[in-house]
Amino acid sequence: MKAWEDLVGTALLGTRRRVLDSAGQPPAVQQLIAGRDDPAEQLLVAAAVLTTYRRAGRLPLRDVRPLPVAAADERPFVPPLARERLGRLLAASHPDLLLEWLGIVAGTGYRVPPETLPLLAEAARSKAALRGPLLAVAGSVGAWLGQRNPDWSFLSAPAEDEGDVWQYGSLAQRRRWLAAKLAEDPGTARAALGSSWKNEPADVRADFLGVLAAHVRAEDETFLEAALTDRAAAVRERAAELLGRLPGTRYGESMAARLRPLVRRRGRVLEVSVPPGERGEGTVRLRTLVAAAPLSFWTEFGPPAEVVRMTVEGCPAGVLRDSWATAALRQRDEAWAQALIGADPGGRTTPPLLGVLSPASQAATVGHLISRLPVESFARLVHELPRPWTKELGTALLDWIARQDDHRLVSHAAVVIARAVPAECLRHPLATTRLTMDAGPWRRALTETLNFRREMYEELA
């Protein structure tokens, strides 16, 4: 509307620098300002009329058809207490707890009240992780809203078993379709992935390899070998990671063959030569070889706990240990993960390596780290522990935090622990024991969060 734009421009510049062009205004406005000499008065009158027009000046609609009604949804609404808690979650803006709440509801036969859907859709618009569980609990009313508001179109996603989702769906829909098909019909999923692979953007190719990671198997070797030559570094790295999970691959064997002449043991010393290369290229090649070679390659030099503690000559020891850690993560080798954690318990590779361990070993190792590391170091490590946590790990961490005194880093770790421990840990004594009057604010917040989460599960049971 040019008349409005002209009016706003005049108001911003001021009537001393610019006079409203009356000829550009609607005839009705021209008549109202025609007899007024003061430019400022003309501007204010025009603004009053145009503002009213923009708000209510609309001709009656004709041939109006009523909007279609949303399909019936026979599922019951969440219970009253859960509905009240949803309102508190939305008002407090806790997206992590809201995500957990929606996940609980998605696993039940309930749906959310329709009046809460606009706020939930707005929350999901800015936090994509909420969209999947919201789609499950919103039902047909959510789909109806999504068809009428482009910002909420993720609520009106087509059924992901339809044949055209892979060709025309959003990235999230295609990821879900691929994950489901890899589990139900692997042949169809791999055929679809191969048919569109060359036409996908680099970030999408890397993302799809991440979906394949949970279903990778021996017959994927040729496909992954081809991905090793991809022009995108992220795709190459992900392909190498997945190949590392497969035993006895040609790629792993070739890396071991290239690594063999570079490694020699001399007593308690491990001599590792850096491949030739300029400007650090040799070190990069060494990292690639060690990370990709099967960890069984090192058996001839000793057991893992012994090899990782040897004196290293010929290359930086940190490069070798980091590459071993990468190999242990790729190959999910628990013995090497334990050895590397034991050799450098406070190292930056310790948190991801803990994710390789079995639940019992993980909890035991964390208990060992608690006794070896300073409180500050362990508190920092808590933030980086891979999730989801097991019951054993959650219990060990709650036991640790219960023994701590007031400390800034401990209080930060308490926030993480309160929100990350699994549901099986929510009846820990920390949540059920009455606090004393001198309890610190972080301890009260910890207890409140644990109780809040426990009540969430109880209300939806």
Q: What is the pLDDT of residues 82-103, one digit of tens each?
A: 999 999 999 887 788 999 999 9
**Amino acid letter, 185:** D
In terms of domains, do 200 and 178 share one? yes
In terms of domains, do 373 and 449 share one? yes
Mean residue pLDDT across the chain: 90
Is position 63 within any domain? no
In terms of domains, do 258 and 239 share one? no
Q: Where are the beta strands (DSSP E) in 249-359?
A: 263-266, 269-272, 311-313
pLDDT at 352: 95
The last residue of a domain, from among 156, 175, 209: 156
The span from the CA of 256 to the CA of 114, in Å, is 59
In terms of domains, do 240 and 286 share one? no
Domain of residue 399, residue span: 358-461
Q: Is the pLDDT of residue 1 over 70?
A: no
How confident is the model over 314-336, as pLDDT tens digits?
Answer: 999 999 999 999 999 999 999 99
The span from the CA of 408 to the CA of 424, in Å, is 27
Q: Is the pLDDT of residue 24 over 90?
A: no
User: Would you place residue 161 in the very low, low, confident or very high pLDDT band (cuts 50, 70, 90)?
Assistant: low
Is position 352 within any domain? no
In terms of domains, do 42 and 136 share one? no
pLDDT at 380: 94
Contact 3, 50 (CB under 8 A): yes
Is position 349 within any domain? no
How confident is the model over 382-409, as pLDDT tens digits?
Answer: 999 999 999 999 999 999 999 998 889 9
pLDDT at 277: 77
Least confident range of 71-80, 162-171, 444-453:
162-171
Is position 70 within any domain? no
User: Would you place residue 173 in the very low, low, confident or very high pLDDT band (cuts 50, 70, 90)?
Assistant: confident
Contact 423, 453 (CB under 8 A): yes
In terms of domains, do 256 and 339 share one? yes
Task: Please state the domain count of the chain.
Answer: 5
| Cα 63 to the center of its chain, rounded Å | 47
Q: Which residue has the higher pLDDT, 141 or 439?
A: 141
Is position 351 within any domain? no
pLDDT at 156: 82
How confident is the model over 117-139, as pLDDT tens digits?
Answer: 999 999 999 898 898 899 989 98
In terms of domains, do 46 and 124 share one? no
How confident is the model over 42-62, as pLDDT tens digits?
Answer: 889 989 988 888 888 777 778
The last residue of a domain, from among 113, 134, 156: 156
The span from the CA of 328 to the CA of 390, in Å, is 20
Residues contacting 302, CB < 8 A, separation 6+: 265, 310
Mean pLDDT for the stretch of residues 210-225 = 94
Q: Which residue has the higher pLDDT, 370 or 58?
A: 370
Is position 216 within any domain? yes
Q: Is the pLDDT of residue 166 over 90?
A: no
The last residue of a domain, from among 344, 372, 407: 344
Q: Is the pLDDT of residue 13 over 70?
A: yes
Contact 83, 156 (CB under 8 A): no
How confident is the model over 246-294, as pLDDT tens digits?
Answer: 999 999 999 999 999 999 999 999 999 999 876 778 999 999 999 999 9
In terms of domains, do 215 and 310 share one? no
Pairing of strands 311-313, 269-272: parallel
List the one residue out of 61, 63, 36 whose CA is nearest residue 47: 36
Q: Is the pLDDT of residue 31 over 60?
A: yes
Mean pLDDT for the stretch of residues 170-182 = 87
0.95 exceeded by the pTM?
Answer: no
Q: Is the pLDDT of residue 162 over 70?
A: no
pLDDT at 60: 77
In terms of domains, do 416 and 433 share one? yes
The span from the CA of 149 to the CA of 163, in Å, is 25
In terms of domains, do 384 and 451 share one? yes
Is position 368 within any domain? yes
In terms of domains, do 148 and 52 share one? no
Mean pLDDT for the stretch of residues 224-228 = 95
Is position 73 within any domain? no
pLDDT at 142: 92
Mean pLDDT for the stretch of residues 205-230 = 94
In terms of domains, do 458 and 363 share one? yes
